[in-house]
Amino acid sequence: MRTPIIAGNWKMNNTIAATKALVTELIPLVKDAKAEVVICTPYTDLATAVELTKGTNIKVGAENVHWAEKGAFTGEISADMLVELGVTYVIIGHSERRQYFGETDQTVNARVKAALAKGLKPIICVGETLEEREGGKVEEVLVRQTTEAFKDIAKEDLENIVVAYEPVWAIGTGKTATAEVANDTIKIIRDTIGKLYCPKCAEEKVRIQYGGSMNPKNVKELMAMPEIDGGLIGGASLKAPDFSLVVNY
Ligand code: PGA
């Protein structure tokens, strides 16, 4: 019912030259994928990635977008700029941005609105820290992050939104949430969206990915879970053979 979506999050990796090599190697490896395939790249690689993937099944995403339409925001990038480049998706609220760059639930919501207004599809990241999980706060944190991210977002926009559940303790650490834990936690997110809109909307329209050390070895088990609609892949998206194994799980 919900088309699976596997997205690479390159983070601050790959020059234009490296992008050319990686994307060229990736294209034939993922051409028969059942899942929707996305690569989210640094801003400087977007034009190259879009050009190389024209006419293929790979879509390109950015890793952030500013909430203002334009103006005095030195160093920032607007939704219009991304749309003009041919970008389809944009990651918003990644835990690294929350941790290192002052991202809050409110700025996440502002960015989501700005993206949707210009026809970009947000991949909204939510997830608890280890401390929050150990303190029994998983539900509280995810309900808050989800509710704030979707504030004032119209029901009609739901089908253009992807959520990525990324437990902070599993990102880049080699520690994956067990498939059961990931599934149960994603259920909390889906139920929250169901309460905000309607259960059927959450069930049918919103795809929720798992992210955090997802790789060729654990992808099958994670993707077999009913609530998990895809993955947001960091480390394993930087090598074409690994990423293609995840995409073709
Ligand atoms: P990882 O990163 O796959 O390297 O854990 C995932 C992410 O941060 O999106």
pTM of the model: 0.98
Which of 5, 214, 239 to probe ligand 1 with, by most ligand atoms within 8 A of CB?
214
Torsion angles phi and psi, residue 61, rounded to 5 = -130, 160
Q: Which helix (H) or strand (E) holds 194?
A: helix 179-196
Buried b (16+ CB within 10 A) or exposed e, 216-249: bebbeebbebebbbbbbbbbbbbebebbbbbbbb
**Ligand 1 centroid distance, CA of 239 (Å):** 13
Pair type for strands 89-92 and 5-9: unpaired
| Cβ of residue 235 lying under 6 Å from some atom of ligand 1 | yes
Q: Which residues 6+ apart lie within 8 Å of 215 measured at CB?
A: 233, 235, 236, 242, 246
Q: Which residues 6+ apart lie within 8 Å of 20 measured at CB?
A: 48, 52
**Ligand 1 centroid distance, CA of 232 (Å):** 7
Residue closest to 46 by CA, chosen among 69, 63, 33:
63
| Cβ of residue 122 lying under 6 Å from some atom of ligand 1 | no
Tokens of 135: 């303190």
In order along its 249 residues, the chain shows pLDDT tens digits of 899 999 999 999 999 999 999 999 999 999 999 999 999 999 999 999 999 999 999 999 999 999 999 999 999 999 999 999 999 999 999 999 999 999 999 999 999 999 999 999 999 999 999 999 999 999 999 999 999 999 999 999 999 999 999 999 998 888 888 999 999 999 999 999 999 999 999 999 999 999 999 999 999 999 999 999 999 999 999 999 999 999 999
Tokens of 101: 């760059």
| Cβ of residue 61 lying under 6 Å from some atom of ligand 1 | no
Query: Is 94 a known active-site residue?
Result: yes
- Distance CA(173)–CA(82), nearest Å, equals 31
| Cβ of residue 78 lying under 6 Å from some atom of ligand 1 | no
**Ligand 1 centroid distance, CA of 72 (Å):** 32
In DSSP terms, 210 is beta-bridged to 165, 231
**Ligand 1 centroid distance, CA of 218 (Å):** 13
| Cβ of residue 231 lying under 6 Å from some atom of ligand 1 | no
**Cα dihedral across residues 224, 136, 91, 173: positive or negative:** negative
* Domains observed in the chain: 5-239 (3.20.20.70)
**Ligand 1 centroid distance, CA of 234 (Å):** 4
Residue closest to 181 by CA, chosen among 126, 233, 234, 138:
138
Which of 162, 217, 233, 243 to probe ligand 1 with, by most ligand atoms within 8 A of CB?
233
- Nearest atom of ligand 1 to the alpha carbon of 9: 9
